[in-house]
């Protein structure tokens, strides 16, 4: 088990095919992280919450970085720290480094509401309030174990303003 993303030096690494698009992130972009949470010592059903974000400094595949850059930028990242893991994942490992303006939030922000899939089974979808900020991702509002979603041009300013207001 390891912590991902890592919010002390702001690194994220993932070798899975679904996350490969993150290598296209550019400096200044925001990468928003969410997690499934439920009440602790109080009643609150499980839901998805925004827990933090990175303001991107660098992103790419591990081979895009020199050995010195890997050491300087990603030394605290699990995938880079462990030589055997790094050796197996290197060619497909997406790495993202956040700037010092990146944050783990002190208070999580509700992102989801309950919806249903095509067969009528319950699943978590982006809440209507959050769709007004981030857009509806062309109707793909299911965010339960979803691939990365990219905010459309018409919602970028509103989404960025919202995320930065959480600092």
CATH 3.10.590 for domain 11-165, yes or no, is yes
* CB contact burial 85-121 (16+ within 10 A = b; e otherwise): bbeebeeebbbbbbeeebbebeebeebbbebeeeeee
pTM of the complete model: 0.93
Q: C-alpha angle with apex 19: 24 to 134, nearest 5 degrees?
A: 75
Percent with pLDDT over 90 in the chain:
83
Amino acid 29: pLDDT:
98
């Amino acid at each position: 088990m390891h912590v991902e993303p890592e919010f002390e030096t702001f690194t994220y690494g993932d070798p899975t095919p679904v996350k490969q698009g993150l290598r296209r992130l550019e400096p200044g972009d925001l990468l928003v992280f969410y997690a499934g949470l439920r009440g602790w010592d109080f009643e609150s059903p499980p839901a998805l919450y925004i827990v933090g974000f990175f303001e991107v400094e660098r992103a790419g595949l591990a081979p895009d970085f020199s050995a010195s850059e890997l050491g300087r930028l990603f030394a605290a990242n699990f995938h880079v720290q462990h030589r055997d893991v790094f050796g197996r994942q290197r060619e497909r490992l997406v790495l993202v480094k956040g700037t010092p303006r990146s944050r783990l939030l002190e208070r999580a922000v509700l992102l989801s509401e309950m919806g249903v899939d095509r067969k009528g089974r319950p699943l978590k979808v982006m809440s209507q309030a959050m769709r007004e900020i981030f857009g509806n991702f062309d109707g793909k509002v299911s965010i339960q174990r979803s691939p990365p979603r990219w905010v459309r041009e018409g919602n970028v300013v509103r989404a960025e303003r919202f995320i930065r207001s959480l600092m």
